[in-house]
Structure 1
Amino acid sequence: MKKILIGGAGGAPSEGVINSLLDNRNGEEIIGMGSEPTDLVLSRAVRKYFVPYADTPEYKTELLKILRIEKPDLIHFQNDLEIFNASLFRDEIHAEGVKTYMPDHEVIDTCVHKYKTYLKLESAGIKVPKNIMLNDEQDLIRAFKELGDKEGKIWLRTSSIGAGGKGALPTNDFEFAKHWITFFNGWGDFCAAQMLSQKTVTWLSIWHEGELIVAQTRIRKGWVHGNRTLSGVTGVTKVGQTYADPLVDEIAMKTIFAVSDKPHGIFGVDMTYDVDGIPNPTEINISRFFTTVLFFTKAGLNMPAIFKDLVLYDEFPNLEKKINPLPEGLLWVRGMDTKPRLMMPGDIEREVENLL
C-alpha cells in the first residue's frame, strides 16, 4: 500500500488536498502532520502527527523521525514556510526513500519572496506593478512620490514567506503607512507597489520536467470576511468561478518560465488586473495547490489525484484539453462552518427567486 504524508493537516489548504485524494484513493493511505493542534484534530487523515513549526531547529529532526516510522512514498506540503524549509534538506528526505516532486530550491526561494519574484518578472519584460522595497522612511517617501495613483494611494505588503494577505494595505497617508510598517517590524521586509484593480485571477498548473501536464483558471468573486480587514483581502476565497482567457494563459506561462527554464511541480500564478484590463502577475504560489482546489475536484478535475498518479505511478492524465479543461462559469460557494457548494451558472439567482 502506498502512503502519502501531507503537511499542515487539518488546515483548509491541506484538507482540500486530503479530501481530493480520498475522493480518488487507489489503495493509498493518507497520513497527516501539522503544527496547529486545533487544526490537526479536525483532519481526515488516517493517522496524524504533531510537528514543530518548520522554521524551528526541532522541525527537521521530528519530520525525519516520522518518515522513518511511516516510510511514506510521497510527502507534500501546503504552506510556504514548510515548503521552503523542507526544501533545504530535501536530499535527506529523498535518502529515506520519500519523493517530494518540487522544483529546484532556487525557484522556491524566488517564489516565496514576493520582491524576488517581482525582480525576476520585471527583468523578463512581463507587465507588473512597480515595486519599491521599503528599507527606511526615505524609501516610503519615494514610494508615495513614484507609485501613488490619482488619489495618492499605494499598496503595501510583506515580501517575506507567508500567505493570506498579511500586512496588505492600500493607503495614501504617509504617517499611517510609517506606523503600520513599524507595527509589523517590517522595515526591510515590506514593499510598496502601484495600485491595481480589485479583479483577480489565478492559473493553477502542474508541470513535469518542463512539460505542462494540466492548468485550470479560476477567478475570485470575493473574500471570506473581506469587509473585516483594512485591505479587503483575507486570502480566503468566498466565491470562485472557473474561467478561460487566452491572455491569462499566455501571461501565466511567461511568468512561470521567467522563474524556471524547466518548470517541475505545482505553479499557481496569482494575477490582478490593472486599469487597462491587463492581468499583472503579483505572486507565484509554488509547489502547492490553492486552498479551494477541492472546487476543481468536485467539478471533475482532481488535480491532487493527477499529481499523485504522476509522482507515484508515472501515470499521465488523458485530457482532451491541457489548459482549462473545465467548463466556464462553474461556481464554488464557501463560508465558515458550512459545507461548500458547487453550483452551475444561474443557480444562485434561481434559488433566491424561489425563497419564501
Structure 2
Amino acid sequence: MKTMALTGTGGAASIGFTRSIRDSGKKIRVVGTDANLINLPFSEADVNYIIPRANEPDYLEKLNGIIDAEGAEFIHAQPDPEVNFISKNRDKIKAKTLLPSHDAVEICQNKFKSYEAWSKAGIVLPKTIFINSEDDLKKAFTEIQTPFWIRAVKGAGGRGSFIVKEYEQAKVWIDHWKGWGNFVASELLPGRLLTWQSLWYEGELVCAQGRERLSWGLAQTAITGVTGMTGVARNVSIPELDEISEKAIHAAEKQKPHGIYGVDLKCNTDGVPCPTEINIGRFFTTIHFFTKAGLNMPSMLLDLAEGNVPSLPKKLNPIEGEFFWIRTVDAKPAFLTREQLRQTSKNDVDVDKILQPDSSVKYFSST
C-alpha cells in the first residue's frame, strides 16, 4: 500500500493514527479529509482536503473524487458519522475498507440497541431505560436509584450526558436537548473506568489490550466532570475485562467480528466491569499510547487491509510493563512509567496516591 485516506484528519484520534503510521516506518502517504477547516492546521497527513459532512448529499461524490485524484487504496474513518456512512456505502467507496458488519455498526452506535443486545446475552449491565416520554422518565425515577445518568443514545464525547437527582431537573435537560425518543436513563456506576481496544480479522481475534482511564481531561470544565477526553490512562491486563469485552462484541456482532471494536466499561459496586458502549470501526483517541508502548494497532490495521494477518506471541494484553499516558491541551501527550513521573518533581511526591482512579462525578440539586 502506497497511499491511504484518513477522515477526521485534524481530530485527536486521527492525529494519533497518523503518528502511529509514521512510527511504524511504513512509507505510506496519508491523504487527510476533514469537514472542519479549523481542524486542518492540526492534521499531520501529507495532504489535506475539506470535505462535506457525511450527512450532506455530495459527501460520497467528493470523497470518491479525492480517492481517485490521490490514488488512495484504503480508507479509514475516525468520526462516527463517517464510519456509519462509509460502512453503509462500502460497496460504493472507491477504496478498500476494513469494517465490521453494518448491522453491528448500527447497534454499537446506538447505546440502547447495544444495551438490548447485551441484556439478551446475560451480561451484567447498569439498569437502563429508554426515554420516549415523560412516563418513561417517571419510571426511571421509580426503578433507578438516584442520582443517575441521562444521555443521548447516539454521539461521542459524552454527548448530552447529565447526572440528575430530581425529575424536573431531568425533564428540563431533555427538553433542552429535544431528547425525547433519543435519550436513555442509566444507573450511575461507582467503579473503575476500563476500555478494551481490539482488532479482529474474519472472526479471529488479532490482538486486544486493556486500559484504565484514571481521570478525565479538563474535568473542571464539564458540568458532570466527564468530558470524553482522557486525561490520565494506564495499560492494564484483567482477565475478567477480556472475557466480558469479548462477550459484548459477540453479542453485538452477529457475523464474524472483523475490524476494530473498542469496548468502554464501568465497574459496578461489586467490581464487575459493565459494558456501556462499543466504539466500532474506529480507534480510541488515545491509540498512540499503545503504539508508544509497543503495540501499533493502526499499522496492524493496514497489514490486515492487505490480507496480512500479524502473528503476535501474545494476543491478549501484549504490552509488557506498566505505562501512563497523560494529556492536556496545547502539548503533546506524556508517555511515562510510574518512576519517570515521580522523577519529574525535584521534591518528594506520593505518586501512588496521585495515580489513584478519580471516580468522582458531579450532580446538581435545587434543594
User: What is the TM-score with the length of structure 2 in the denominator?
Assistant: 0.92
Task: Tell whether 2:333 aligns with 1:340.
Answer: yes
Query: Retained in 1: the 8 A contact 2:218–2:328?
Result: no
Which amino acid is the alignment partner of residue 104 of structure 1? S
Corresponding residue of 1:153: 147
Partner-residue secondary structure (3-state), 1:230: coil
Which one of the candidate residues 185, 197, 201 is aligned to 2:190?
197
Residues 1:179 and 2:172 are matched in the alignment? yes
Q: Within the alignment, does 1:137 sit opposite 2:160 as a pair?
A: no
Of the three residues 321, 337, 347, the one matched with 2:314 is 321
Q: Match of 1:126?
A: 123
Matched, 1:249 2:242: yes
**Aligned position for 1:92:** 92
CA distance in 1, matches of 2:116, 2:3: 39
Alpha-carbon distance between aligned partners in 2 of 1:216 and 1:42, rounded to the nearest angstrom: 27
Distance in 1 separating the partners of 2:85 and 2:104: 13
Aligned equivalent of 1:302, options 296, 312, 315? 296
> Which region of structure 1 is more displaced relative to structure 2, 67-76 or 240-249?
67-76
Are residues 1:77 and 2:93 paired?
A: no
**2: distance between equivalents of 1:320 and 1:107?**
29
User: How big is the shift at 1:216?
Assistant: 0.5
Structure 2 portions without partners, runs of 5+: 350-367
What SS does the corresponding residue of 2:91 show, helix, strand or coil? helix
Q: State the aligned residue count.
A: 348
**Contact 1:205-1:216 within 8 A present in 2 as well:** yes
Residues 198 and 56 of structure 1, relative CA distance in 2, 3 Å threshold = farther
Question: Are 1:291 and 2:285 matched, yes or no?
Answer: yes
Q: Does 1:165 align with 2:158?
A: yes
What is the deviation of 1:355?
7.7
Where does residue 219 of structure 1 map in the other structure? 212
Q: Is the 8 A contact 1:17 1:304 kept in 2?
A: yes
Name the SS of the counterpart of 2:197 in structure 1.
strand
Larger CA deviation: 344-353 vs 268-277: 344-353
C-alpha separation between the residues in 2 aligned to 1:339 and 1:69?
32
Q: Which moved more, 1:60-69 or 1:208-217?
A: 60-69
**1:40 aligned partner, one-letter code:** L
Q: Counterparts of 2:54 and 2:127 in 1: how far apart (Å)?
A: 32
Cα displacement string for residues 150-178 of structure 1 (whole angstroms, at most 9, x for unaligned residues): xx211111002x20001111111111110
Question: Counterpart of 2:354?
Answer: none
Measure, in 2, the Cα distance between the counterparts of 1:301 and 1:318.
12
Query: AA paired with 1:292?
Result: T
Contact 1:242 1:330 (8 Å CA) reproduced: yes
Counting aligned pairs with the same residue, the percent is: 41
Corresponding residue SS for 1:222: strand
Q: Deviations over 1:201-227 (max 9, x none)?
A: 000000001000010011001011112
Please, what TM-score do these two structures have when normalized by structure 1?
0.95
**Cα drift, residue 198 of structure 1:** 4.8
The residue aligned with 2:264 is 270
**Offset of residue 124 of structure 1:** 0.7
1:2 aligned residue: 2
**How far apart, CA to CA, are the structure 1 residues paired with 2:338 and 2:191?**
22
Residues in 1 aligned to 2:41 and 2:345: alpha-carbon distance in whole angstroms: 36
Deviations 1:230-279 (Å, cap 9, x if unpaired)?
22111100111000110000000100110124100000010000011100
CA contact 2:191–2:271 (8 Å) conserved in 1? no
Note if contact 2:206-2:311 (Cα within 8 Å) is conserved in structure 1. no
In the alignment, which residue of structure 1 is the partner of 2:46? 46
Shift of 1:333: 1.1
- For residues 109 and 149 of structure 2, the distance between their equivalents in structure 1, rounded to whole angstroms, comes to 19
How far did residue 352 of structure 1 move?
A: 2.4
> What secondary structure does 2:13 align onto?
helix
Q: Is the 8 A contact 2:191 2:269 kept in 1?
A: no
Name the residue aligned to 2:361: none
2:110 paired residue number: 113
1:18 counterpart SS class: helix
Q: What is the CA–CA distance in structure 2 between the aligned matches of 1:277 and 1:21, rounded to whole Å?
A: 36
